[in-house]
Amino acid sequence: MDFTLTKEQQDIVKAARKFAKGEFPDRAAEFDREEKFDLEIWRKACDLGFVGVFIDEKYGGAGYGFIEHCLINEEFWAVDPGMASAILSTCFGSELLILFGTEAQRQLVLPKIVEGQAIVGTAITEPDAGCDVTGAVTTAVKEGNQWVINGTKMFITNGTVANYLMLFCQTDPENKSRHNRYSFILLPTDTPGYKATKIRGKLGIRASDTAEISLSDVRVPFENLIGTEGQGFYHLMEFFNRTRLHICAQAVGLARAALEESIRYTKSRCQFGKPIADFQVTQFKLAEMATRIRAARNLYYEAAWLADQGRLDHALTAMAKWYSGKMAVECADEALQMHGGYGYIDEYKVQRLYRDAKILEIYEGTKEIEKTIVANALLK
């Protein structure tokens, strides 16, 4: 097996690293503190081709695979998770259009994403439906040639800034199979009856927009249905088996940042007459962090490579998502521990990494859900 990146992939990594290091450090703390983001930086990223690299060239994208998107995620998150999330989540949901959308839907939305003219998101979670997506009660009812949508969505990325949302909702609530009640609908957010309220006070990735969505008699054309009616749950599972790979890359990037901050600090911080990096206990911590990072990267490399080959391995993706999130939380925790009291104040980047890390074990499938997927595969 050859784990070497191609020359083109190496160039993508270098370019992503250069952009992130040039744009993120000076404003990361500001965006975290004020829970906002400057969209001009996002537009720069679009101009340089970092957003939606997996979108086909016919729609203006680079036509790369999910592995390239993962590589960009890793490099961006290694500099600042909050800003990285704010930029790269702007294409979150485009995968549904690529997989299941009509040509008209793709032509409408995909070019705008890569050109920096539109932000998208995916509206799945509800106040009483998180991991159990079949508990979602938002409805879309047919009236003539339209869908009439009512309901509430919670924790929706880009809810207040998106131009389009891929909305997961019940289109056949009486169906005996809970899994066959749902569909996805393309929802322009300028449609009357749509209301988004920004959620403030998040623990981490505070630069990224998160909102509660209220839908009151929202009307969209029938042709806004994405994929097959009643197959929304299955479309969602296919979607997650790709997007969860991005979370793995995010986790590796964050853990890298935690390791780099730890190395820098422990070489300069002296106790008992010498740098704390000279103590074996510190060296062991650094060695363990580096090993965990390498293991997580190898997991997501293999899973992403298989996805790009059209050979999705659901259990492997779940392993990678669970392990990488756990690994990132552990590395951030160790990094803060090595910083001691200094790690507890916002003068040091490590406190932000510590807060940003936890979401990696929660969104797009909690660690418990991922373990369940792995266990089910084993027990089959």
What is the domain-level CATH number for residue 165?
2.40.110.10
Point out the residues that are catalytic. Answer: 364
Q: What is the pLDDT of residue 194?
A: 98
Is 253 inside a domain boundary? yes
Is 138 inside a domain boundary? yes
φ and ψ at 144, to 5 degrees? 65, -125
Is 2 inside a domain boundary? no
Is 41 inside a domain boundary? yes
Q: What is the pLDDT of residue 1?
A: 67
Residues 32 and 87 in one domain: yes
Q: What is the pLDDT of residue 2?
A: 78
CA–CA gap between residue 376 and residue 379 (Å, rounded): 5
Beta-carbon contacts of 363 under 8 Å, excluding residues fewer than 6 positions away, are: 155, 247
Q: What is the pLDDT of residue 151?
A: 98
Asked if 252 and 296 touch (Cβ cutoff 8 Å), the reply is yes
Residues 174 and 65 in one domain: no
Q: Residue 107 class from Cβ within 10 Å (0-12 exposed, 13-18 middle, 19+ buried)? A: middle
- Taken in order 331, 332, 335, 340, the sign of the CA dihedral is negative
Domain interval for residue 187? 120-230
Identify the CA nearest to 121 among candidates 369, 364, 370, 373: 364
φ and ψ at 247, to 5 degrees? -65, -35
CA–CA gap between residue 149 and residue 185 (Å, rounded): 10
Asked if 320 and 248 touch (Cβ cutoff 8 Å), the reply is yes
* Overall number of domains in the chain: 3
Which CATH number fits the domain that encloses residue 35?
Answer: 1.10.540.10
Which residues does residue 143 pair with via DSSP β-bridges, in sequence order?
146
**Per-residue model confidence as pLDDT tens for the chain (380 residues):** 677 899 999 999 999 999 999 999 999 999 999 999 999 999 999 999 999 999 999 999 999 999 999 999 999 999 999 999 999 999 999 999 999 999 999 999 999 999 999 999 999 999 999 889 999 999 999 999 999 999 999 999 999 999 999 999 999 999 999 999 999 999 999 999 999 999 999 999 999 999 999 999 999 999 999 999 999 999 999 999 999 999 999 999 999 999 999 999 999 999 999 999 999 999 999 999 999 999 999 999 999 999 999 999 999 999 999 999 999 999 999 999 999 999 999 999 999 999 999 999 999 999 999 999 999 999 98
Is 203 inside a domain boundary? yes
Residues 216 and 238 in one domain: no
Residues 370 and 238 in one domain: yes
Residues 366 and 302 in one domain: yes
Residue at a domain's end among 68, 93, 114: 114
Pinpoint the alpha helices (H) of the chain.
Answer: 7-23, 28-34, 39-47, 66-77, 81-88, 94-100, 103-114, 232-268, 280-308, 314-339, 350-357, 367-379
Is 271 inside a domain boundary? yes
- End-to-end Cα spacing for the chain: 28
Residues 134 and 107 in one domain: no
Residues 167 and 271 in one domain: no
Q: What is the pLDDT of residue 340?
A: 96
